[in-house]
Amino acid sequence: MRVVQVTIPTSRRGDVLAVLESRSLDYVLTPETQSDETELLQFPVEADTVDPVLDALEEAGVDSESYTVLLRAEVATTADADRPSEEAEEGDERIGHDEIRGRALGLNPSRTSYYAMSVLSALVATAGLLLNSPAIVVGSMVIAPQVGSVLAGSVGIAIGDGPLVRRGFIEQVVGLGLAIVAATLFGVALRQVSFVSPLLQVESIEQVGQRISPGFLSMTVGLCAGAAGALGLATALPVSLVGVMIAAALIPAAAAVGIGAAWGVLPVATGAFVLLVVNVTAINLTGFLVLWLLGYRPTGGRGQSDTAVRRQYLPTAIAITVLLVALAGAGTVVGQQTAADRQVTTGISDTLEQKRYAALAVRSVQTGFAVPGIDESERHVTLVLSRPVGTTYPALAGDLATNIEQRLDQPVSVSVTYRDQQQADSNRSADV
């Protein structure tokens, strides 16, 4: 339930009140103390019908730039309080354009706090990745402030609000840029003071490896995060947990870029950067699409010319073009990586199907990232396999490399880690 307070011209009182009465909306009309030509109108209305009611009032003669305040109300006791609104749909809790814009802005802290929290979350994520600690990485997501800028950008695109689009995009780019710089400097400092060995193979760390090989599953996180954030914002549902999901798609990837740069490992830095770009664009685009499907559009005063209407859609068109270009470029690289992952998976499956390797089971596979047209060195593949205690497979790495190279048409190095497995019969407990 919302309470709308709006000033109306006294000369158009009859037309305005007719709009409310046609919708069975109770109201209070108060004379304006500062002017004899306007009056203050106040009435309760369902959240999802704020926009159509305000549009109808605008048609009845209320200036779109007039004093308008929208308040949240828990209870409204009026003669027609229990009558369902004609525009309301069962289960529809969508809020109005002005309110969703206000909510998006309300999620944004001050710029100083935003950038400071971006840096702090990146430092925590860097420590978590290097320590291979999922708990610390999750902690970095909790303090990351990216949800506000991301949703501000999506809302701005949907309603054609140029300043809001610019604010959202600038804060995302600058905030994530600062996160990458902070992670890089932190990594360099750790190497210089020998808190972390300069010889550490950062790509072999499990938590880092999950962020340096962008693929379809990685992109799914960004797609779902953007959709969930927009849906939660538009329906007045809590978005705090969605903020963690959005941060999960961005902050660890930004930290991984910094780690790759600090250790001078190009595939790590570029792979994580491509993943970051894909997730940023996917979150913004899916957020916009959900809001668009929910009916959010650029709006303005009645009686505008076609040129003015087209101008309202200009920020939306420009923002979508920028996002699509970025997604197309990064998506091409992701597609190539996904194709390589499939070839690697097929090569591993064909090799392990041989009778001599029948006792082995795959625990995890990580395909190293290669920069198309830049990094033509061998691609590194890391496997974790379980094997019976006491068995050895000296030829396995070579067989895997040969099989995978035939499919990728590219030099491949294979690293195999074994986890011994011991299993008792069905009458005894299993020890793994």
For residue 354, give both structure tokens.
């041989």
Please give the pLDDT value at position 74. Answer: 63
Question: 8: which strand partners?
Answer: 39
- Residues with Cβ < 8 Å from 223, sequence gap 6 or more? 282, 283, 286
- Residues with Cβ < 8 Å from 355, sequence gap 6 or more? none
Please give the pLDDT value at position 162. Answer: 87
Residues 99, 156 contacting (CB under 8 angstroms): no
Compute, in degrees rounded to 10, the torsion defined by CA atoms 287, 290, 292, 294: -140
The distance of Cα 361 from the centroid of its chain, to the nearest Å, equals 35
Please give the pLDDT value at position 259. Answer: 93
Please give the pLDDT value at position 183. Answer: 95
Residue 136: count of CB within 10 angstroms of its CB: 17
What end-to-end distance do the CA atoms of the chain give, in Å?
A: 57
How far apart are alpha carbons 146 and 172 in whole angstroms? 7
Average pLDDT, 10 consecutive residues per value, the chain (432 residues): 80 81 80 74 77 78 75 66 46 69 82 93 94 91 90 90 90 95 94 83 82 78 88 76 85 93 88 90 92 81 55 84 87 82 90 90 83 66 88 90 87 87 62 48
Residue with tokens 């971006």: 118
**Burial track 251-290 (b if 16+ CB lie within 10 A, e otherwise):** bbbbbbbbbbbbbebbbbbbbbbbbbbbbbbbbbbbbbbb
Domains defined along the chain, listed by start: 2-92 (3.30.70.120), 100-332 (no CATH), 338-421 (3.30.70.1350)
Residues 343, 407 contacting (CB under 8 angstroms): yes
The distance of Cα 238 from the centroid of its chain, to the nearest Å, equals 16
Residue with tokens 């960004």: 222
Please give the pLDDT value at position 302. Answer: 45
Please give the pLDDT value at position 349. Answer: 92
Q: What is the DSSP pairing of strand 361-367 with strand 379-388?
A: antiparallel
Please give the pLDDT value at position 117. Answer: 94
How far apart are alpha carbons 93 and 355 in whole angstroms? 59
Residue with tokens 């929290």: 117
Secondary structure of the chain as H, E, C letters: CEEEEEEEEHHHHHHHHHHHHHCCCCCEEEECCCCCCEEEEEEEECHHHHHHHHHHHHHCCCCCCCCEEEEECCCCCCCCCCCCCCCCCCCCCCCCHHHHHHHHHHCCCCHHHHHHHHHHHHHHHHHHHHCCCHHHHHHHHHHCCHHHHHHHHHHHHHHCCHHHHHHHHHHHHHHHHHHHHHHHHHHHHHHHCCCCCCCCCHHHCHHHHCCCCCCHHHHHHHHHHHHHHHHHHHCCCCCHHHHHHHHHHHHHHHHHHHHHHHHCCHHHHHHHHHHHHHHHHHHHHHHHHHHHHCCCCCCCCCCCCHHHHHHHHHHHHHHHHHHHHHHHHHHHHHHHHHHHHHHHHHHHHHHHCCHHHCCCEEEEEEECCCCCCCCCCCEEEEEEEEEECCCCCCCHHHHHHHHHHHHHCCCEEEEEEEEEEECCCCCCCCEC
**Half-sphere exposure (Cβ direction) of 205: Cα atoms closer than 13 Å:** 22
